[in-house]
Amino acid sequence: MMGAVRPGWLPANALLASYQQQGVYTDCFFVDLPRAVSQAEFIEAFYTTRLFKLERFILSILVSKSSTDQQARQLAAGDTQSFAAWSVEGRSANQLLLCDFLGRTRSWLMSEAGEGGHPEGTRLYFGSAFLPKVDRSSGKARYGMEFHALKGFHRHYSEALLRSAQSRLLRPPSS
C-alpha cells in the first residue's frame, strides 16, 4: 500500500531552508516509501514521470527550454548542472536544489533513508521557494496577484508530482 503525500516542515538541514529563513514563501511535501531509494533514483523518477514530461513539453513550447529523459538521468547522476529551465544551485548526497532560468523559483528534492517508520524505507521530500518581485520604485518585495491566484494549484500539482514519482518507484522493475 502506498503512503499518502503530506505537507510538512522543511528539515533543518534542507538546502531550501535558507530561503525559508529569509522569509521567502517555501513549501514542503513528503511521502514515505517502504524500501530504500537513492537520491539519483528519486531524481530520475521525479523528472521522467508522465506528469513531469507534460511540464517539460510545455516549457519547450513556451520558453524554448526542451529536455529529455537522458538529460534527467544525467542530472540524477550529477553529470550536468542544468536541466530544462533549471540550473543546479545546490547539491549534496541526498539533496538537489534547482533555480529556474528567471531566478524566481527554486525546486528541491531530498531523500532520507530510515525515515517514516520503515527502517529499510525512505522519506522523499519535494519543496519549492517562490521569491517575491521587488517593486523598482519602492524597493519593497511583494507577491503579485498571479502568485496568490496560483498558490492552490501549485499545492495540488506538487502533491501530484510527488505521488507520480512514488508510483514509479513502487512499480516492479520491468524484465
Spans of all domains in the chain: 6-170
- State if pTM tops 0.85: yes
For the chain, give the mean pLDDT: 92
Lowest mean pLDDT among 37-41, 42-46, 97-101, 143-147: 143-147
The pLDDT of residue 7 is 96
The pLDDT of residue 1 is 42
Rounded distance, CA 51 to CA 171, Å? Answer: 16
Percent of the chain with pLDDT over 70: 95
* CATH class of the domain whose range is 6-170: alpha beta
Rounded distance, CA 88 to CA 68, Å? Answer: 17
Mean pLDDT on 67-83: 96
SS3 state at 97? strand
Nearest to 14 by CA among 2, 30, 32, 37: 30
Rounded distance, CA 135 to CA 158, Å? Answer: 28
